[in-house]
Structure 1
């Protein structure tokens, strides 16, 4: 599978994406809702101001005709216009007077009584509205000023209409109780409204729950990974059930522990069976081999047929003994694949030492051995498994290289892996056989290759099995200049 597809399926990527969505979506929704709410609030404020304007327009004709004889007509008119919750105040400042304190409260609704009228005037003075009117009593200006009351509560001044006459300056003020208007109109941000805060609390709780579920699952997978690494390293007293923190994964953790225990038990039984079978078979073979010697002395020298039969029996016994040893190695290799505790292996040091030992062997066959090992490389696995990999590769390369040939062994770091390459200049392998040579009991040696030692086609099979047991891989290609190149990539140690 391509790496980009793997990244898209990554738990971490999905968790980060969910967190980003939870962070961005509420911001976008809030901005949209705030825009709509601001438009609605502006419309409501405009409506309140238009209502105030109508009140002012209705009162101005009466104020133009004001005289002591018709003064009692103002108060009923103000109370009638204030029905529906609106607050209306009519102020008057005589023509010669100046200053904010010179305004007189002529009529007010719904306030009644001297004390309420005095409190209303104090609120107007404290808010600075009267000071503004004292500076200029010309024109009409819609306002939105919050007036705080000690007992009556807060209200919003929505319209202010100064009107000059020959007697002085009349002012009509209209206000709305803050409880009848949106929160934003009276100076509170949209995010402070109760509906938004409740919705944000529910959304935040949902986000925390979803992210906590994903975080717990991810954390549990990481703990399972740590336990698996401990199992691979051969550490005792490690358990998936102990590392589990999610109750729903308790059964899964228990099954994983059971699987690990079964694998370890199978590994022990396989090693035990390999040892017992080898011992059981080698004992009678040894008896047969020892019995052939007196038989050979008892057979007359002229009985060629009997001597030939004894020779064949001897060779067959040797072959059987080699097969038993090979089968034991195979079983032990398979057992190692089941349960292989990994340790840090000084790959550079081990391969340098092993390569120096093969230089003399190569020289005896008139073959050159070129070793280039990068210093300081460490892999995760077992010393003996890496040694078997290198020995089998070098043995194969020397067996297939003709006298005067050259074998090269290279070790370097590549893409976070330790890459071991062994190349010969022998006949190579057919392209369709490059994978088959890693199967069991597959050998492409011709007569004379490998000396007098009989081979059973297990060398490269063991190389690949050991590489995979150490978390790596092995493959082969035909070198461009001729010969076979076998590569083994092993993970570097943490």
Structure 2
């Protein structure tokens, strides 16, 4: 009775439960997440500080301007008696009066519009003195602003201003207020301005144009650039390390970690990685050499014992039952010893491949077909029937010895416990190579199922014989699959028996 073909969805390649929390912790400590948080801080901090400092600077400037406006009001009140009797006061006396109240960075200008006159205002005096062309320019500016027309209509109420004026031949100034003074002869206007000479050059400008703000912004941007440049170097070095690691996995001897980073502080780390890779490769070569040497060393005495047994069998008569049983026991033990030597050689080569894993395109279909043919020849007549359904060109990346050892142990484990049939299925699923081996044996107790891939674990009853890898077979499968970047899962089939699925990265 054949087993139904299994679907990939029956065996989700989920990570073990105990790895979920460490994986979550690694995601929580991701450099990308921290980089995003750092970028958010770099954006938020200047925005918050700029808003607060701008508000404080605005309040400071408003207090200063208000003080200047108040001074203009006081000066206007002080000049009102003089302006009321302007007919008897010479113009030069008005100039002296303005000069008396001006100073400490405050500029005063006096305009007059006679009662009933049409047109604009006339400049009368200024303190400090201003050239006529500069006065005319400022008068035209006030007219363009519409302020003079408004004052001419009512000549009442102080008009607060914050207008920067660039006058030829003198320091720029900031107009702060226009204070009207109504007299019988007409309307006088006192223009109050703040001189922007010296430390007041940026009064009234936008906050972001202040030199200290621009300097702070430049320093902050330089700091941000430096921080992100350092992070970029770290990221590039990590990517270089990753690329070198992939090259090392592909068995490229010229791949060196030291050449993948330009950061001096990471050079010792890279050198340590290079030394580690060199030692691992040297250890892998030593293990492979030792495996071949040990197998060859055991091969000669085993062959000698076989020849001696043949000589002894000729000398022991068929009636000597004890002698015949002894020879049979020796032959069985010798066969087991031969299997153990082969298993040890395979295990050592697998261990070498784990230390220095090859990265080749391996045709799993070809290996599986050869293995199925070999088992069908070796299995006795009363053994379970091996049914192979193998897709063409199932190419995986890895080492042939690791894949072959994993497949062989999967089939050996299934044959050892099957009653009638063993199904071997190789196919491509979602861009990966999937190998499924199912038997119709007794299955595994539910409480033991999570442990079947542990080393030396073996509790299934009904095995036909003790193989060289008893308790190690499924452990070797798991070890090799994970070394190749794959995974292995197992579950009891609904109809009975055990189903093991191994997935490998597609080449």
- TM-score, normalization by structure 1: 0.86
The residue aligned with 2:165 is 147
Distance in 2, matches of 1:448 and 1:207, equals 68
1:429 aligns with 2:449: no
* Counterpart residue number, 1:227: 244
Alignment of 1:237-316 (within 5 A): 237-316=254-333
Report the secondary structure of 2:109's partner residue.
strand
Are 1:409 and 2:425 counterparts? Answer: yes
Counterparts of residues 178-257 of structure 1 (less than 5 Å)? 178-179=196-197, 185-186=203-204, 188-257=205-274
Going from structure 1 to structure 2, the CA distance change for 1:36 and 1:227 (only over 3 Å counts) comes to same
What stretches of structure 1 of length at least 5 have no aligned partner?
none
Most deviating of 464-473 and 427-436:
427-436
After superposition, what is the alpha-carbon deviation per residue over 1:306-337, rounded to whole angstroms, capped at 9, x for unaligned? 44433333332222222211111111111111
Query: Per the alignment, do residues 385 and 354 of structure 1 end up closer, same or farther by CA in structure 2, a change over 3 Å counting?
Result: same
Deviation at 1:211, TM superposition (A): 1.7
Give the 3-state SS of the residue equivalent to 1:67 in structure 2.
Answer: helix
How far did residue 196 of structure 1 move? 0.7
Structure-2-length-normalised TM-score: 0.84
Between the two proteins, the alignment pairs up a number of residues equal to 480
> Post-superposition shift, 1:121?
1.5
Change (3 A) 1:51 1:354: farther
Q: CA distance change for structure 1 residues 484 and 196 in 2, over 3 Å: closer, same or farther? A: same
| Structure of higher RCO (CA pairs closer than 8 Å, 6+ residues apart) | 2
| Inter-partner Cα distance in structure 1 for 2:236 and 2:437 | 42
- Structure 2 matches for 1:66-465, cutoff 5 A? 66-69=86-89, 73-100=93-120, 103-105=122-124, 107-111=125-129, 116-129=130-143, 132-133=147-148, 136-137=151-152, 138-140=155-157, 141-179=159-197, 185-186=203-204, 188-345=205-362, 349-350=365-366, 353=369, 367=385, 369=387, 371=389, 378-403=395-420, 405=421, 407=423, 409=425, 411=427, 413=429, 418-434=433-449, 436-440=451-455, 443=458, 449=464, 454-457=467-470, 458-465=472-479
Contact 2:372 2:386 in 1 (8 A): no
Does 2:80 match 1:63? no
Name the Cα RMSD after superposition.
3.2
Three-state SS of the structure 2 residue aligned to 1:143 is strand
Q: List runs of 5+ in structure 2 lacking aligned partners.
A: 1-19
Q: Deviations over 1:102-157 (max 9, x none)?
A: 6142x32122xxxx341442232342448742574222322222221222110111
Distance 1:398 1:315 in 2: 20
Deviation at 1:256, TM superposition (A): 0.6
Residue 262 of structure 1, CA deviation: 0.4
Q: Are the equivalent residues in 1 in contact too, given 2:490–2:499 (CA < 8 A)?
A: yes
> 1:83 offset after TM fit, Å?
3.0
Q: Deviations over 1:276-316 (max 9, x none)?
A: 11111110111121122223323455544444433333332
Distance 1:340 1:262, change over 3 A: same
